[in-house]
Amino acid sequence: MEKDAKIYVAGHRGLVGSAIIRRLKKEGYQNLIYRTSSELDLRRQKEVEEFFAEEKPDYIFLAAAKVGGIQANNIYSGEFIYDNLMIQSNVIEAAYRNNVKKLMFLGSSCIYPKYCPQPMKEEYLLSGKLEQTNEAYAIAKIAGIKMCQHYNKQYGTNFISAMPTNLYGPNDNFDLKTSHVMPALIRKFHEAKINDKGKVVIWGTGKPRREFLHVDDLADAVIYLMNNYNGNQILNIGVGKDISIQELAELIKDIVGFEGEIVNDTSKPDGTPRKLLDVSRLNELGWKADISLRDGIKSTYEWYRNSL
């Protein structure tokens, strides 16, 4: 990407989009464009068409999406499939019609099959049944990946897709009803500490294993791929190491300084047993994650405290 190129970051106020903005500015990209959801509703085709006709971006990072944890995915499944299908379809189509040089579409590791062989290779996508609690989100994201691939095939576009693992960091969603596991645990342990509670209850058995990537590492990776990768194959982005939810809870407990006990609510769902990405393709392209889990959680907890 040329330093003076016009770059549109969709979803710039979210966890991923804000990290991409920070990284682009750090690397000297100044011609950045973005809109809030109140200024531009990406679910509305007419608004998207008018925006693209006016701005004519050169490059796009499509980080706008409706996202959430197990509970949000389950309760708002209709919104998850509609919003994500409309957002990505409108942006990808407009990118094609306005001759965008390159687009980065972001999928997610949670769209791989529920009982996927571990670590998950890119070719395992669509090889088995999805996790039921996030089926709506997964189907929408798979449609976005396939849309990029088939536009490349038919129209000769350069739309690439990346599959990030579980993300965390500044600007995450810490709402206990809709958040993912990492911010939920950070908030739970922090509130238990300041309110002198004797225990923190975590969902499920604690046995499921998850991989966590700091969002600043993700931003570095997607900009690296925009500059170094042109292909129709999806690419996993992760660290290649996982941790059990129980171990994660113990680590966050230690970082926060909570002195009480951890109690497991086994009436709550565990979700997918394990999600670990095979990141060998990305490593071979010359990129590896840099931020350790402890350092990443520590800085995220500091951000959370400062934002209260």
Q: Is 240 annotated as a binding residue?
A: no
- Which DSSP state fits 112? S
Q: Is 303 annotated as a binding residue?
A: no
Q: Is 210 annotated as a binding residue?
A: yes
How far from 287 is each of 156, 224, 236, 250, 276, CA to CA, in Å? 26, 8, 11, 30, 17
Q: Is 89 annotated as a binding residue?
A: no
How far from 4 is each of 27, 208, 290, 305, CA to CA, in Å? 12, 45, 27, 36
Q: Is 31 annotated as a binding residue?
A: no
Helix axes 293-307, 245-256, angle to 10 degrees: 60
Q: Is 22 annotated as a binding residue?
A: no
Looking from the CA of 49 toward its CB, the CA atoms found within 13 Å total 5
Q: Is 269 annotated as a binding residue?
A: no
Q: Is 12 annotated as a binding residue?
A: yes
> Are the beta carbons of 113 and 127 closer than 8 angstroms?
yes
- Give the separation between CA 27 and CA 30, rounded to whole angstroms: 9
- Give the separation between CA 57 and CA 9, rounded to whole angstroms: 10
**Is 168 an annotated catalytic residue?**
no
Q: Is 107 annotated as a binding residue?
A: yes
Q: Is 170 annotated as a binding residue?
A: no
Q: Is 218 annotated as a binding residue?
A: no
**Of the residues 59, 112, 137, 301, which is catalytic?**
137
What is the SS3 assignment for 162? Answer: strand
Q: Is 190 annotated as a binding residue?
A: no
- Which DSSP state fits 173? -
Which residues are catalytic, by number?
A: 137
Residues in binding site for NADP(+):
11-17, 106-109, 141, 164-167, 180
Indicate the annotated binding residues: 11-17, 106-109, 141, 164-167, 180, 188, 203, 210, 270
- Give binding residues for substrate as ranges: 188, 203, 210, 270
